[in-house]
Amino acid sequence: MVLLTRTCAAIEPLDAKSQEAVLAHQARLTKPAGSLGRLEALSVQLAGIQRTKTPRAEQGAVLVMAADHGVCQEGVSAFPQEVTAQMVHNFVAGGAAINVLGRLAGARVVVSDVGVASDLPDGLPVHRKKVGYGTKNMAVGPAMSREEAVAAVEAGIEVFNVEFERAPFDICATGDMGIGNTTASSAIASVITGKSPAQLTGRGTGIDDEALKRKIAVIETAIAKNAPNPGDAIEVLAAVGGFEIGALAGVILAAAARHVPVVIDGYISGAAALIAAGIAPLSRQYMIAGHVSADSGHAAMLEHLGLAPLLDLGLRLGEGTGAALSILLCRAACRILNEMATFDSAGVAEKAE
């Protein structure tokens, strides 16, 4: 708990002076005021986060957290639990969608085992931060203890800190892997936003109508049985969450404490962002919504967080894919700010007399 407390204490509001300097500089660029829309607002946010009038998004990292879920025993996924470990191998081999998009975005993909239900082979280049061999079945009791919930969040903080100190990056993104994790994410979203599981729950990996009904019923049962306090994010995580969701919340908190912008991916990352914001409300200022997922309920998560997504491409894969794409937009916003000519330097008249 010491690491979590120390990390949260280090989170500060964005730097207003840097943001004011960027706004003043944008007013001198060779374009009509506001004509680059969201890119302009994005550069202002990035400047405030990084505390500089020349923000950068050249070097990136996608931090992928992997864990399994005991609620899979209720038949809530179209894929078997073994896929979690298999996909970790795929990430390490560089063959997953996030590897492709990470390479495109200039962002290294870092994989962590925070709760895979099996032992990964020795020598596999992943961070080994296993809190447990998957969560317990939240339909019959809490997914984890409060101590495990804190450990999961601190695992994400530790991974972020190690990677940032090893090779600093300008921007990071959240990614996930865990069969059954949309069920946990829907439960978290329902508790925190107050919306019903039926409003928030989608088909995840592609379940049919009967499985969707079962999934909603399982979430309703889990919330009723565990009755977490919406005002206590750690309690919510312990009752109905996942180890990778907790670890991603830790990544978000660590990024905020280190003044690093964090691009939030889809549904699972949205649940982690809800947990992070519940633990440390100031962390919202450091979040950038990479995209809005096709999964039902993600838009409601973003609305609750007060975040507007950069992209809407119908993505629902997770892994950090939508966030990786949005790193490119963040880089574009920074380069426009830093490289575009001003009216004075280009000798261009600002307005007609």
**Residues forming the active site:** 319
Tell me which residue has tokens 């609305």.
Answer: 303
Structure tokens at 28: 């001198």
Distances (CA, A) of 33 to 23, 337, 350: 10, 13, 10
Of 111, 115, 158, 134, residue with least CA distance to 4: 158
Residues forming a β-bridge with 203 = none
User: What gap in Å lies between CA 277 and CA 273, rounded to an integer?
Assistant: 6
> Do the Cβ atoms of 279 and 8 come closer than 8 Å?
yes
Q: Compute CA distances 164 → 253, 324, 340, whole Å.
A: 13, 17, 30
Going by C-alpha positions, the residue among 296, 266, 287 that lies closest to residue 190 is 296
List of residues 6+ apart from 242 with CB closer than 8 A: 67, 69, 115, 135, 143, 178, 180, 181, 184, 185, 268
User: d(Cα 50, Cα 286) in Å, to the nearest integer?
Assistant: 9
Q: What is the DSSP string of 155-167?
A: HHHHHHHHHHHHS
Burial of residue 140 (number of CB atoms within 10 Å: 0-12, 13-18, 19+)? middle
- Nearest Cα residue to 178 out of 321, 70, 308, 42: 70
